[in-house]
Chains A and B, each alone.
Chain A
Amino acid sequence: MADETTNQGIPAPEGASHIIETDYEIGQDNFETQVGPFGLDIHNPVFLISALSIMAFVAYALFAPGSADAVFNGIDPSDTCEAGAFCDLGMRAYLTSNFDWFFLWSANIFVVFCLFLIVSPFGSVRLGGKDAKPDYGYPGWFAMLFAAGMGIGLMFFGVLEPVYYFGTPWGDEPLGVVRPFTEDGALIPENVAAARRMALAATSYHWALHPWAIYAVVALALALFSFNKGLPLTIRSAFYPIFGERVWGWTGHIIDTLAVFATLFGLATSLGFGAQQANAGLEYVYGLPNNVTVQVILIIAITLVALGSVLRGLDGGVKVLSEINMGMALLLLLFVLFAAGAATIMTGFGKGIVAYFQEVIPLSIPHGREDTGYMQGWTAFYWAWWISWSPFVGMFIARVSRGRTVREFVTCVLIIPSLVCVLWMAVFGGAAIEQVIADPAASAVKAQVIDSYNPPLSLFAMLEGLPFAAITSTIGIILVIVFFVTSSDSGSLVIDTITAGGKVDAPVPQRVFWCTFEGLVAIALLIGGGLGALQAMVISTGLPFTVILLLICWAILKGLIQERRNS
């Protein structure tokens, strides 16, 4: 009896959405077993290939660090390479300097595509079918979008980037804007306004529409093909319109494995670097020793909290932590805003938005530019970085976005986070630039960003110039750590779902495995070296993923057309 009901093909509900009819059954390639007391339900072969190849690459980075560095970072011990050759630049810089035009144009296409979706009739398609209700309210939803997507970047680059563009002595001025300092570090007052304006515009360019359009494209594709078309929630489903039934075979295995790969290494390497940043902050503020032992303890602590979070699940863990995180970040933002002078900063924010809209087109056109330091070293690097993170962030955004219309979805993923990012940069960067202008010689920010380049300390140097520095720096360190936890737990959920073939009800030990594995990879790379090489490798995956994302835009259009035809 029971068997009849479970195996019968019951027709889909009428009129709600356009279900793709496929012979594939979710979980058909899965391997259910019991290892000791652990129940497992894993996708064969994606789980195995990902886990084994990740171990192989960690081993490569650990046992041949010189070679890995040479390939990916272009660190050449023998110093025999010609300047600009592949072996001089390494894979990452080679890609960002030779394919800068491709990255920039692709990102522009994603922005235009998203804006088109907002105004087109496709905007009315609802994710999850006509009558779907949103799973999450706005506050929880936004908190999760941010915490997974770029929370940690805001902490790291909020002060660093605006100040760097404002006063870079290394020739990375965006669009060749004038420098506000003379060679010996004295301020040139008449250049300040122009440099500050361009600093905010150029920073906002990297954090506003373009990155969020990249995330929105991936997230929309996954949400559409999963919630409306009934395909499993894994990256391969977005390719169904392109490859057809082949996505359930090796084509799909490779796509999913690549996504797991980029996500795990992206998380593990930034976990390693994040531990170094938190440690640098702890040393700066409390004089704690800055060494591998402290960093390993930090990684273990972060992993344990992330583990607790994934064990409590999406609603009880990840969402709660994201909300706490956003609450703390908001408090810090308000504090910096008022401590540094709300009137000045908000004027700067207004000017920043205007400058962004004036400069976004010149900044996003890769031809006839002299500022290659900015365009290749920063913009193309950022685009590759956002794109290599997009499978993870996109999949997580998709999972929490059911019940929104396409228009609401794109608006909320594109416009609102962009505004918040610009505000954040205007407040943190604006406050820091004020400090630099007020007294260049005594400014700790100038010392850490312009005089010597010490990125992890830029935030703490800015907070030092404001009241209650001890308290706010502590909050800053906690925020850095909690932002890592929220990336780590959402990342583990995503990897677990992909390696379970799109099942979201796989046994608990699997997500424990991925979360722990990520911490172990980070520790191994931290102790053995190779963090830089593997991070460069992850960013290098940005190039193939860009091609994939362009194909996805087409798949989305095709999917939306069918969706409208059916309703």
Chain B
Amino acid sequence: MFKRIMAPVDLAHVERLGPALDCAADLAKHYGVPVVYVGVTSSLPSQLAHNPEEFGQKLAAFAEAEAARHGVETSAHTAIAHDPTTEVDDALMRAIDETGADLVVMASHVPNVMDYIWPSNGGKLAEHAKCSVMVVRS
């Protein structure tokens, strides 16, 4: 049914992604397809990495760890945004095309009043992406 699953991850808050990551891996196992983990970073130093290359290495290490944990095929893809606060959605939309994923599995918080003003990234992606999007509440 699906060929490739994209799982956006925020490496700074991996602890909040548990259910979504498990779900992505289970689906990958079920359909026998690979998961590509997508991380969004700016080219500026962040708490995770000094530069995008280092960020990419960390993301790749994360993907390998997930592969070992779940026994599925994984890869990593770094998306660069100039202003991550507001451009995460656009960066993820581009990543869907670049990775050729046809299912996105991502975590999202339980909606609150602010989602009327600033929809969550998951909500935005589900609204605009051409492929299927599964939003896992955490």
Residues on A close to B: CB < 8 A? 1-6, 8, 10, 12-13, 16-17, 19, 25-28, 37-38, 128-129, 132, 135, 226-227, 230-233, 310-317, 399-400, 402, 493, 502-508, 511
Cβ B61 vs Cβ A38 within 8 A: no
Which one of B53, B82, B85 lies within 8 Å of A506 (CB-CB)? B85
Cβ-Cβ contact count across A and B, 8 Å cutoff: 120
Chain B residue with minimal CB distance to A312? B86
How long is the Cα–Cα vector from A203 to B17 in the complex, in angstroms?
A: 58
Chain A residue with minimal CB distance to B55? A10
B46: Cβ under 8 A from any A Cβ: yes
Cβ A313 vs Cβ B50 within 8 A: no
Chain A residue with minimal CB distance to B70? A1
Cβ B57 vs Cβ A129 within 8 A: no
Most buried by A among B15, B57, B86, B113: B86
Chain A residue with minimal CB distance to B88? A505
Whether A38 contacts B51 in the complex (CB less than 8 A), given A227-B44, A313-B83, A505-B42, comes out as no
Whether A502 contacts B61 in the complex (CB less than 8 A), given A6-B11, A316-B87, comes out as no
How long is the Cα–Cα vector from A306 to B53 in the complex, in angstroms?
A: 33
Q: How far is the CB of B6 from chain A (nearest CB, A)?
A: 18
B97: Cβ under 8 A from any A Cβ: no
CB-CB < 8 A to A311: which residues of B? 86
Cβ B114 vs Cβ A1 within 8 A: no
- Categorize the interface residue count of chain B: 35 or more
B14: Cβ under 8 A from any A Cβ: yes
Cβ A2 vs Cβ B82 within 8 A: no
Chain A residue with minimal CB distance to B112? A37
Beyond contacts A226-B45, A310-B86, A504-B44: 17 other A-B pairs, Cβ-Cβ < 8 A, are: A2-B62, A12-B50, A13-B51, A16-B51, A26-B46, A26-B47, A38-B114, A230-B45, A313-B82, A313-B83, A313-B87, A314-B86, A315-B83, A316-B86, A504-B42, A508-B85, A508-B86
Whether A10 contacts B85 in the complex (CB less than 8 A), given A38-B114, A227-B44, comes out as no
Please encode chain B, from 4 to 41, with 1 for each CB lying within 8 Å of some chain A CB and 0 for all others: 00000001101101000100000000000000000000
Mind listing 15 A-B residue pairs with CB under 8 Å? A5-B62, A6-B14, A6-B48, A10-B57, A13-B57, A16-B51, A16-B53, A27-B12, A27-B47, A128-B51, A227-B51, A231-B45, A311-B86, A502-B45, A508-B86
Cβ B58 vs Cβ A505 within 8 A: no
Cβ A233 vs Cβ B53 within 8 A: no
Cβ A2 vs Cβ B83 within 8 A: no
Chain B residue with minimal CB distance to A8? B61
CB-CB < 8 A to A226: which residues of B? 44-45
Cβ A227 vs Cβ B43 within 8 A: yes
How long is the Cα–Cα vector from A399 to B113 in the complex, in angstroms?
A: 33
Cβ A507 vs Cβ B85 within 8 A: yes
Q: How far is the CB of B83 from chain A (nearest CB, A)?
A: 4
Cβ A37 vs Cβ B114 within 8 A: yes
Residues on B close to A: CB < 8 A? 11-12, 14-15, 17, 21, 42-51, 53-54, 57-58, 61-62, 65-66, 68-69, 82-87, 90, 112-114, 118
Cβ A5 vs Cβ B46 within 8 A: no
CB-CB < 8 A to B53: which residues of A? 12-13, 16, 129
CB-CB < 8 A to B48: which residues of A? 6
Cβ A128 vs Cβ B83 within 8 A: no
Whether A135 contacts B43 in the complex (CB less than 8 A), given A13-B51, A311-B86, A505-B84, comes out as yes
How long is the Cα–Cα vector from A493 to B44 in the complex, in angstroms?
A: 14
Whether A503 contacts B46 in the complex (CB less than 8 A), given A10-B54, A313-B87, comes out as yes
Q: How far is the CB of A238 from chain B (nearest CB, A)?
A: 14
Most buried by A among B43, B45, B47: B45
Whether A10 contacts B61 in the complex (CB less than 8 A), given A227-B43, A503-B47, A505-B42, comes out as yes
Whether A135 contacts B82 in the complex (CB less than 8 A), given A2-B65, A6-B14, A314-B87, comes out as yes
Cβ B58 vs Cβ A5 within 8 A: yes
Most buried by A among B43, B50, B113: B50
CB-CB < 8 A to B45: which residues of A? 26, 226-227, 230-233, 502
How long is the Cα–Cα vector from A217 to B14 in the complex, in angstroms?
A: 39
Q: How far is the CB of A499 from chain B (nearest CB, A)?
A: 13
Q: How far is the CB of B45 from chain A (nearest CB, A)?
A: 5
CB-CB < 8 A to B84: which residues of A? 504-505
Chain A residue with minimal CB distance to B15? A2
Which one of A13, A314, A399 lies within 8 Å of B54 (CB-CB)? A13
How long is the Cα–Cα vector from A37 to B115 in the complex, in angstroms?
A: 9
CB-CB < 8 A to B61: which residues of A? 5, 8, 10
How long is the Cα–Cα vector from A1 to B17 in the complex, in angstroms?
A: 13
How long is the Cα–Cα vector from A17 to B51 in the complex, in angstroms?
A: 10
Whether A504 contacts B14 in the complex (CB less than 8 A), given A19-B50, A37-B113, A128-B43, comes out as no
Most buried by A among B44, B54, B61, B90: B44
How long is the Cα–Cα vector from A316 to B84 in the complex, in angstroms?
A: 12
Closest 5 CB pairs of A and B: A230-B50, A313-B86, A314-B83, A27-B47, A2-B14
How long is the Cα–Cα vector from A117 to B100 in the complex, in angstroms?
A: 45
How long is the Cα–Cα vector from A3 to B53 in the complex, in angstroms?
A: 20
How long is the Cα–Cα vector from A23 to B132 in the complex, in angstroms?
A: 43
How long is the Cα–Cα vector from A393 to B43 in the complex, in angstroms?
A: 19
CB-CB < 8 A to B87: which residues of A? 313-316
Cβ B86 vs Cβ A6 within 8 A: no
